[in-house]
């Protein structure tokens, strides 16, 4: 199965583009030309568009109805030096109370076309995981039924979704992969595995288990909560208590803009004078970060001074799967490989 290039562009975890000095008046004028007024909302609260029901206002919220309209909105953002962000169902999406600068682009029902071509399911970014799984099932195809219970759109799933690891066997293997990546990149001279909420919580736990199993390493896990707990195990952190001098390795699924690190690093340093030895992510997406030149991983390294490594990169994923049969089917054929190359020609980091 494959997602179209529009699906790859869509990310429910918030596709953050480059931060610029925005010309708000010029943006408003251009958007009013690009999209019908009833589908362009100003100061729209993001709490109305996320499953967590939290989030401040977006400067502009555009519900896109066609590819031409999408192109026009993106052109408006480019000409006004405005950042843009793409969402689908708003699942697993946390928006700060201060809201979103620029334009929030929603790809929903008008980008939810699904068609079956032989053993391939081609879905647009706005189609939900459940809809795609049902379409595959009706066509007598298997392999995506696991996603029927995962909230969100195919666009977000096309990039990375650690929430797809839900069984004991899957989580066990994932913990071993993280443990080996940490060992190979940073060694074992650390005390704490820290995972930013929410996905980082199970990641930190299974990584500690993997470290013990592979290397006999006794690391303690720690994670943060999104809101401080005021009873029982109170506070903003859960798991091991942090102490001055603790050596910490952080684990994440992916990093898009570095926002989660920007939020959690101060929490770590406020809890204790810890020494962060590095960050491991499962997938290096190899896309440009907020600065528009290098990856978010490289930007984090430059900003915080600790190394960032990954279990695999998108280049390695493509090399491994291109025209190689997995479970009886080709995952990345020549057409998909060409689409990936075209995407990275436009959005890939030039390193």
Catalytic residues: 229, 231
Return d(Cα 133, Cα 121) in angstroms, integer.
Answer: 9
Contact 8, 157 (CB under 8 A): no
Half-sphere exposure of 161 (CA within 13 A, CB side): 23
Phi-psi region of 323 (alpha: psi -120 to 50; beta: other; left: phi over 0): left
Query: Hey, is 249 helix, strand or coil?
Result: strand
> Rounded CA gap, 297 and 306, in Å?
10
Handedness of CA 101, 33, 105, 281 (dihedral sign): negative
In angstroms, how far is CA 296 from the centroid of its own chain? 12
**3-state helix vs strand vs coil in the chain, percent to 5:** 40, 25, 35
Q: Which two tokens stand for residue 49?
A: 């568009």
Q: Of 83, 63, 77, nearest to 16 (Cα)?
A: 83
Can you say whether residue 97 is alpha, beta or left, with left for phi > 0 and alpha for psi between -120 and 50 degrees? alpha
Query: Kind and range of the H or E element at 11?
Result: none
In this structure, what token pair is assigned to residue 192? 């704490």
The Cα 43–Cα 93 span in angstroms is 18
Length of the chain (residues)? 351
Displacement of CA 189 from its chain's centroid (Å): 29
């Amino acid at each position: 199965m494959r997602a179209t290039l529009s699906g790859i562009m869509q990310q429910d975890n918030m596709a953050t583009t480059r931060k610029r000095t925005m010309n708000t008046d010029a943006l408003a004028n251009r958007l009013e030309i690009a999209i019908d007024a009833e589908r362009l909302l100003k100061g729209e609260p993001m709490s109305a568009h996320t499953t967590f029901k939290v989030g401040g206002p977006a400067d502009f919220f555009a519900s896109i109805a066609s590819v031409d309209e999408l192109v026009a909105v993106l052109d408006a953002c480019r000409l006004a030096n405005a950042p843009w962000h793409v969402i689908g169902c708003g699942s697993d999406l946390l928006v700060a109370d201060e809201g979103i600068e620029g334009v929030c682009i929603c790809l929903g029902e008008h980008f939810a076309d699904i068609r079956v071509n032989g053993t391939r399911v081609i879905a647009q970014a706005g189609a939900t995981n459940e809809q795609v799984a049902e379409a595959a099932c009706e066509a007598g195809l298997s392999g995506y039924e696991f996603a029927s219970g995962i909230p969100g759109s195919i666009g977000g799933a096309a990039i990375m979704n650690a929430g797809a690891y839900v069984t004991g066997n899957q989580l066990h293997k994932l913990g071993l992969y993280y443990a080996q990546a940490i060992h190979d990149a940073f060694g074992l001279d650390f005390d704490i595995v820290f995972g930013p909420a929410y996905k980082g919580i199970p990641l930190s736990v299974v990584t500690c288990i993997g470290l013990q199993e592979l290397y006999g390493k006794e690391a303690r896990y720690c994670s943060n909560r999104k809101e401080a707990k005021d009873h029982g195990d109170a506070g903003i952190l859960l798991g091991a208590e942090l102490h001055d001098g603790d050596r910490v390795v952080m684990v994440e699924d992916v990093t898009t803009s570095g926002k989660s690190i920007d939020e959690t690093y101060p929490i770590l340093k406020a809890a204790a004078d810890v020494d962060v030895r590095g960050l491991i992510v499962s997938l290096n997406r190899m896309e440009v970060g907020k600065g528009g030149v290098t990856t978010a991983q490289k930007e984090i390294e430059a900003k915080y001074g600790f190394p960032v490594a990954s279990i695999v990169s998108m280049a390695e994923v493509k090399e491994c799967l291109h025209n190689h049969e997995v479970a009886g089917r080709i995952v990345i054929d020549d057409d998909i490989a060409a689409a990936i190359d075209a995407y990275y020609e436009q959005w890939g980091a030039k390193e």
